[in-house]
Amino acid sequence: MANEITQSSLNGFLSYDYWLMRDAIVEAAYDVFSMKQHVIGKSLAGIPSNAARFTKYPKLTASALTDGTDLTANTAFTPTQNTLTVGEAGLKLTLTDLADSGGIVGMMEYGRNAGLAVAEKITGDLVALGAGFSTSEGTTNVDLTEQVLLDTTAVLRAANIRGPYARVLHPDSYYKELIGDIGTTFSALGNTGGMVRSESNDLPGSGDSGLVGNLFGHETFISSQVGEDGSSDKENFMYAKNQALGYVERWPIRVEIERDASLRGDEIVVTAAYAVGEVDDAAGVRIISDGA
């Protein structure tokens, strides 16, 4: 007999291992905090280009008119743009046959961890953009307080930046500083007179998505990938959703499995092709805190 269809010959999309791995990676990608839902997203799938432009419109000003007087002067309308060019990120794992057959976990677990690594890389690149906002609130070597959050919101409102807004805080800034200050300015713990234990449920810990809830009406996330400045302060930030930051994708997290017969193993390659960048500097504010 010849030309039998065997398990080892079912490569690519026909491979059962591929689909197990793909499902595991998709699950992993959704298990970590992702800012992609809050940025201006573009896809280059099917487009013969590896770059995308993000337009920022100018702020126009209207003035009073006089009846019977002709409008002779045009108002300048000159939008600017940021161009983001995609690059690749990923990793490769090599699983030998002996390791696969003698291990207590299957290929899905290796794929899940690889997917987590790439998802966290994307998240980290997005979070790192927060350190680039020109405007900042908070004081170096000083703990994060409720008042600082209110001041940050005031900055965006005063700049006529439309909401909704979101915040990203380092776990130390949230758990070690902010929660201890709750109730000193304006919060549920300071006003309703209910039991502190029940009211403190308004300040939950984070789930796998990083969401800790709404503080002063704005979604607040925590991420350990929030960086530090030269003074070891945490560079938390607040930004206007779908205005401040951009994300362009050539392809999402994907997996390819290649058989290396001479090695007696399988190469698991997980990659993504994307770019991130700031679109509107005025639509974001850094939030400096001690974070210690």
One pLDDT digit (tens) per residue for the chain, 292 residues: 444 334 444 444 445 555 555 666 655 555 556 677 788 888 888 888 898 888 888 888 888 888 888 888 888 888 888 889 999 999 888 888 887 777 666 677 777 788 888 888 988 899 999 999 999 998 888 888 888 988 999 999 999 998 899 999 998 888 888 877 666 655 554 455 454 444 444 555 555 556 777 778 888 888 888 888 777 888 999 999 988 999 998 988 888 888 888 888 888 888 889 999 999 999 999 999 886 6
Residue 291 is predicted with a pLDDT of 65
Residue 274 is predicted with a pLDDT of 93
Start and end residues for every CATH 3.30.2400.10 domain found in the chain: 8-55+80-127+247-277
Position of tokens 């979101």?
166
pTM to 2 decimals? Answer: 0.78
Start and end residues for every CATH 3.30.2320 domain found in the chain: 134-245+281-289
The fold of 134-245+281-289 is: hypothetical protein PF0899 fold (3.30.2320)
Helices (H), strands (E): how many in the chain? 8, 12
Residue 8 is predicted with a pLDDT of 47
Return the CATH number of 8-55+80-127+247-277, one of 3.30.2400.10, 3.40.309.10, 3.40.50.150, 3.40.50.11890: 3.30.2400.10
Strand partners, 279: none
What DSSP string runs through 167-220?
EEE-HIIIIIIIHHHTTSSS-HHHHS---HHHHGGGSPPP-TT-EEEEETTEEE
Residue 10 is predicted with a pLDDT of 44
CA distance 149 to 281: 18
Residue 197 is predicted with a pLDDT of 42
